[in-house]
Structure 1
């Protein structure tokens, strides 16, 4: 386990799965990033944050292409999680372990975790394949 920290998660069938710590890279001045981290923690994840004044090197390191980017980048169990991906979709990812690079919610859609407000926009959680092609993983 990364850092020896683990969170217990339960998949849809009720089987127990163990996930490594979620590491979130974020701008030190971004409030919605902190709200998303709170969303993960309230859904059973152990999260550590790493403030970065320039996020582009992190996005490049994990292969997050410009059209798929958002404000923060997280990593867990070898996957990147870009933007305001709901905790349940991350739990599903860690349970199913598909052969993808990660999940993304491009941009910052209103109503996504950490972006709650006066309206809720429809958005898709995209799975990103190693060749950077995408498919819809979940629709909200």
Structure 2
């Protein structure tokens, strides 16, 4: 292999590594929710504003979906989203969702328990830290904290 060919090969490998190091957020998602929940629709609109095409399913058994996703007992919220290879539980702010896809940790997904004020789909300003957790197989662990 001559020097020019080797240089092109190394440049191509570096370029490929640079483009695959950070995965972009997928452009499609499925949001599972209760049919009467309007804040879930607000979260779907927020995802759509980020360029994600959202399919809303409001006739699924949420308990079964949450079990399938691996969400820990007691850390649920009003909706569950399947996006790419991950699950998002609840009103997780986009900073955490983007961090998930940039870091690509070996987890089933991330969540934010309850319906905190100021999160996407929920009215009002953020007044307290959001403790976003990562989960796998019904076990949760800290992922990141988003300060007001």
TM-score when scaled to structure 1? 0.78
Matched with 1:74 is 81
Aligned pair 1:85/2:92, yes or no?
yes
Q: How far 1:98 sits from its partner (Å)?
A: 0.8
Corresponding residue number in structure 1 for 2:28: 21
Which range moves more in the overlay, 125-134 or 66-75? Answer: 125-134
Unaligned runs of 5+ in 1: 1-14
Please say if residues 25 and 98 of structure 2, whose CA atoms lie closer than 8 Å, have aligned partners that are also in contact. Answer: no
* Aligned equivalent of 2:4: none
1:37 alignment partner in structure 2:
44
Name the SS for the 2:55 alignment partner.
strand
Describe the SS at the equivalent of 2:115.
coil
Greater share of strand residues, 1 or 2? 1
Q: For residue 23 of structure 1, give the secondary structure of its aligned residue in structure 2.
A: strand
Superposed CA RMSD: 2.1
Match of 1:136 among 137, 140, 143: 143
Give the C-alpha shift of residue 54 in structure 1: 3.5
Structure with the higher helix share, 1 or 2: 2
Corresponding residue number in structure 1 for 2:16 = none
Residues 41 and 121, structure 2, Cα contact 8 Å, conserved in 1: yes
Q: Is the 8 A contact 2:32 2:60 kept in 1?
A: no
SS in 2 for 1:95: helix
| Whole-angstrom CA distance in 1 between matches of 2:26 and 2:90 | 19
2:42 partner SS: helix
Aligned length: 126
Unaligned 5+ segments in structure 2 are: 1-21
